[in-house]
Chains A and B, each alone.
Chain A
Amino acid sequence: MRTTENVICITCPKGCTLEVLKDGESILEIRQGCKKGHSYVQQELTDPRRMVASTVKIRGALHPLLPVYTLAPFPKGKILELMKALRAMQVDSPVKTGQVVLPNALDTGIDIIASRDM
Chain B
Amino acid sequence: MKIKQKYDVVVIGSGPGGLAAAIAAKKTGCDDVLVIERDIELGGILLQCIHNGFGLEILKQDLPGPSYAQRFVSEALGLGVETLLDAMVLDVSPQRRIFATSRKGGLYDIEARSIVLAMGCRERTRSQIRLPGPRPAGVFTAGTAQRWVNVEGYMPGRRFVVLGSGDIGMIMARRLTLEGAKVERVVEIMPYLNGLMRNYVQCLLDYDIPLQLRHTVNRIIGNHRVEAVEIVAVNDRWEPISGTEEIVPCDTLLLSVGLIPENELSRKAGVLLDPLTGGPFVDDHFQTNVPGIFAAGNVVHVYDLVDWVTEAGYIAGRSAAAFAIELRRWENRHMPLVAGENVRYVVPHELDRESLTMGAVRIQLRVKQPIESPVVVELRNGEDVLVKKGEPYARPGEMITLTIPSKVYDLVQKASVLSVHVVQR
- Return the contact of B64 from the options A12, A53, A64, A117 (Cβ within 8 A): A53
Q: Check B152 against A54 for contact (C-beta < 8 Å).
A: no
Total contacts A to B, CB within 8 angstroms? 77
Any A CB within 8 A of the CB of B198: yes
Any B CB within 8 A of the CB of A101: no
Q: Check B40 against A13 for contact (C-beta < 8 Å).
A: no
Contact residues, B89-117 vs A (CB, 8 A):
none
> What 0/1 readout, one digit per residue, does chain B (281-315) give for beta carbons within 8 Å of chain A?
00000000000000000000000110000000000
- Return the contact of A65 from the options B51, B63, B151, B201 (Cβ within 8 A): B151
Any A CB within 8 A of the CB of B69: yes
Task: Report chain A residues within 8 Å CB of B137.
Answer: none
A15 to B200, CA, bound (A): 10
Q: Check B70 against A116 for contact (C-beta < 8 Å).
A: yes
- Return the contact of A15 from the options B41, B47, B179, B196 (Cβ within 8 A): B196
Any B CB within 8 A of the CB of A45: no
Closest to A17 in B: B197
Contact residues, B156-199 vs A (CB, 8 A):
178-179, 196-198
A59 CB, min distance to chain B CBs, angstroms: 13
A30 CB, min distance to chain B CBs, angstroms: 17
A83 to B201, CA, bound (A): 20
Any A CB within 8 A of the CB of B52: yes
Task: Report chain B residues within 8 Å CB of A15.
Answer: 196-198, 201
A20 CB, min distance to chain B CBs, angstroms: 15
Task: Report chain A residues within 8 Å CB of B206.
Answer: 50, 76
Any B CB within 8 A of the CB of A67: yes
Task: Report chain B residues within 8 Å CB of A67.
Answer: 50, 64-66, 150
B74 CB, min distance to chain A CBs, angstroms: 8
Task: Report chain B residues within 8 Å CB of A65.
Answer: 150-153
Any B CB within 8 A of the CB of A28: no
Q: Check B198 against A51 for contact (C-beta < 8 Å).
A: no
Any A CB within 8 A of the CB of B138: no
> What 0/1 readout, one digit per residue, does chain B (2-46) give for beta carbons within 8 Å of chain A?
000000000000000000000000000000000000001100000
By Cβ-Cβ distance, the 6 closest A-B pairs, closest first, are A15-B197, A10-B198, A116-B66, A67-B50, A115-B66, A51-B52
